[in-house]
Amino acid sequence: MVKEILDEIGKARVVSIVRGIAHEDLKHVADALYEGGIRAIEVTLDTPAALKMIEELKSEYSTKMIIGAGTVLDAETARSAILSGADFVLSPTLSTGVIEMCHRYSKVAVPGALTPTEILTAWEAGAQIVKVFPARVFGPAYIKDIKGPLAQIELMPVGGVSLDNAAEFIKCGAFALGVGSELVSRTKVAAKDFDSIRDTAAAFIKTAQ
């Protein structure tokens, strides 16, 4: 199970972070992302009705995309997300409890870390991917610097990933990219501009591949 999820994230290259959208817009957004080539979606748990959204996405797109839960801060919330259908669980910080819960259910843990010590600690605690957050602080070159001595660790930069730097992040060794408002912005969703989301998704996939 874990290997399959990891393979899917690695192939997808881009994980779309969906945050703060209305439940009624979920299917439109998911369809637009899928049409644009996105194959991995993360719903952040600070989004209203997030667990219900994850459940619906898993039911609707289980054969098309992998579904993740983001902004998971503790093991209890991780378990709720997993039981709702999350294949992978992301955190902005390092919680060994979340990692342990993911291992218990054979899901992928993606804790957040920034410094080399935090990144290695997350890996040693069992994280299959480490989310480098906020990536905008140091940019793509930081991924290359970390991969130098820690080549065995799969890194996913999040925060500040854009069409302008996505290819450079991949070139510098990123396993995948977490992309938020640069892809699914609340402004576009509020305007029902789903075609723009589709086109931006396609541009990110082309750049990352």
3 state DSSP class of 172: coil
Q: How many CB atoms lie within 10 A of CB 105?
A: 15
3 state DSSP class of 184: coil
> How far is 10 from 167, CA to CA, in rounded Å?
15
**What is the Cα gyration radius of the chain?**
16
Is 42 among the residues known to form the active site?
yes
Q: Which of 55, 56, 107, 131 is catalytic?
A: 131
> How far is 18 from 114, CA to CA, in rounded Å?
22
Cβ pair 5, 154 in contact under 8 A: no
**What's the CA angle centered on 133, arms 131 and 137, to 5 degrees?**
140
**Kind of pairing, strands 108-110 and 112-113?**
unpaired
Is 131 among the residues known to form the active site?
yes
| Those residues with Cβ within 8 angstroms of residue 130's Cβ, 6 or more apart along the chain or in another chain | 110, 111, 112, 113, 119, 122, 123, 153, 154, 155, 156
**Residues classed as catalytic:** 42, 131
